[in-house]
Amino acid sequence: MSDKRQRARVQGSWAKPLPKPPRPTAGSVSNNQQTGQVNPDPNSWGSGPQKTPKTFEFHQPTKRVRDVPAVKVIEQAGIHEISHGPSGVSRLRLLPGFLPPEEADWMFSKLLAELPWSQKTNYRQGAAYEEPRLTCWFGELPYTYARSTLAANTQWHPALSALRGAVEQASGCGFNSLLCNLYRDGHDSIGWHSDDEASLGRRPTIASLSLGDTRVFGVRKQPPPEENGDYTYVEQIRVPLGHGTLLVMDGAVQDDWQHQVAKEYHDRGPRINLTFRTMHPEPEGHRPGTRLRFTSNQS
Ligand SMILES: O=C(O)CCC(=O)C(=O)O
């Protein structure tokens, strides 16, 4: 086959004739032979005579493929050390059946009917929004979070005073305040946050008692600073919290982790969650609700 036809077959009929290699003159050497260079300097591309590389090397891309860690599930009673840093040991203590079923049933009906439930209005970037759940607050001090305040309320329901004693005994920790949450159905929720307002003190112990339908308590690790607030690759844990279950968060949980109860897209009955806390008076001149560190807004 003639050179012209062969080129037309292989490259298409539009292919131009290949440039003829420069004819060596007596005593001359090629550019590459002269410099010993295989890969031309990219800075010289497009300027001056082109140097044709003799060989190509394939380099595997060096970018690491990262796996999103599998979500862990904690269902077993006991003390679970979920991390050892960066702020210290973070612990979840889980006690399913802390309240026996009949007692939990009685408590649930009583609190649902008799607590002064209301919907709190919070603020984010100057805009008001209603919390997607109902709350009520007991304690000698007010509690400010998400730029709105639950007023002090010393009228503890007698059933809650009795529960406080039992929770203190089980957790070995004293509490002076209680935030009650009512999730009316699966659409009610609480967004990712940490209970890290300065009024709760450093490394607070928070005891959370669940009554009613089971909801999943999600926990995710705070990303290291180099991730710039990206939670894609952080560790995640799911803790199903059933009727009568006590969960105690302590150590560095509020520093190193966030938690939430996400919306669910299938039917859920009502659930009450009681979170016992210890509030400290805000120092003089301190803005209430200020966080110890930056975390995303609570909703
Ligand atoms: O409902 C729950 O289990 C969590 C409540 C909670 O995160 C909170 O009150 O800060």
pLDDT at 229: 94
Determine contact, residues 54/37, Cβ cutoff 8 Å: no
> Among all chains, which residue has been given the structure tokens 């039917």?
267
Query: Does 175 have pLDDT greater than 70?
Result: yes
Instruction: Say if ligand 1 is within 6 A of residue 245 CB.
Output: no
pLDDT at 36: 37
Tokens in use for 283? 């120092």
Ligand 1 atom nearest residue 241's Cα: 3
Ligand 1 atom nearest residue 259's Cα: 7
Instruction: Say if ligand 1 is within 6 A of residue 137 CB.
Output: no
pLDDT digits (tens, 9 = 90+) for 37-80: 444 454 444 455 556 666 778 877 777 788 999 999 999 999 99
Question: Phi first, then psi: what are they for 147, rounded to 5°?
Answer: 60, 30
Instruction: Say if ligand 1 is within 6 A of residue 261 CB.
Output: yes
Ligand 1, atom 7: closest residue by C-alpha: 260
Residue 291 pLDDT class (50, 70, 90 cuts): low
CA of 227 to the centre of ligand 1 (A): 26
CA of 178 to the centre of ligand 1 (A): 11
Element (H, E) at 95: strand 90-95
Which residues are registered as beta bridge partners of 72?
A: 237
Residue 295 pLDDT class (50, 70, 90 cuts): very low
Instruction: Say if ligand 1 is within 6 A of residue 217 CB.
Output: yes
- Mean pLDDT for 128-157 is 93
Determine contact, residues 230/172, Cβ cutoff 8 Å: no
Report the share of the chain in percent with pLDDT over 70.
76
Give me the sheet containing 257-261, strands edge to edge: 72-73, 236-241, 215-221, 257-261, 190-193
CA of 24 to the centre of ligand 1 (A): 82
Domains, in order of start, for the chain: 80-277 (2.60.120.590)
CA of 186 to the centre of ligand 1 (A): 15
What's the whole-model pTM score?
Answer: 0.77
Pairwise CA distance, residues 253 & 276, whole Å: 15
- Mean pLDDT for 150-178 is 96
Ligand 1, atom 8: closest residue by C-alpha: 275
For a mutational test of ligand 1's pocket, the pick from 185, 193, 245, 259, i.e. the residue with the most ligand atoms closer than 8 A to its C-beta, is: 259
pLDDT at 157: 97
* 1-37 per-residue burial string, b: 16 or more CB within 10 A, e: under 16: eeeeeebeeeeeeeeeeeeeeeeeeeeeeeeeeeeee
pLDDT digits (tens, 9 = 90+) for 195-218: 998 889 999 999 999 999 999 999
Instruction: Give the burial class of 46: count Cβ atoms within 10 A of its Cβ; 0-12 exposed, 13-18 middle, 19 or more buried.
Output: exposed
Instruction: Say if ligand 1 is within 6 A of residue 277 CB.
Output: no
pLDDT digits (tens, 9 = 90+) for 228-244: 999 999 999 999 999 99
Pairwise CA distance, residues 121 & 68, whole Å: 35
Ligand 1, atom 10: closest residue by C-alpha: 195
Ligand 1, atom 9: closest residue by C-alpha: 275
pLDDT digits (tens, 9 = 90+) for 16-39: 545 555 554 444 434 444 333 444
Nearest C-alpha neighbor of 137 from the set 110, 175, 194, 170: 175
- The alpha carbon dihedral of 169, 175, 178, 217 has a sign of negative
Q: Cα-Cα-Cα-Cα dihedral of 236, 241, 246, 251, to 10°?
A: 10
Pairwise CA distance, residues 223 & 239, whole Å: 20
Determine contact, residues 155/138, Cβ cutoff 8 Å: yes
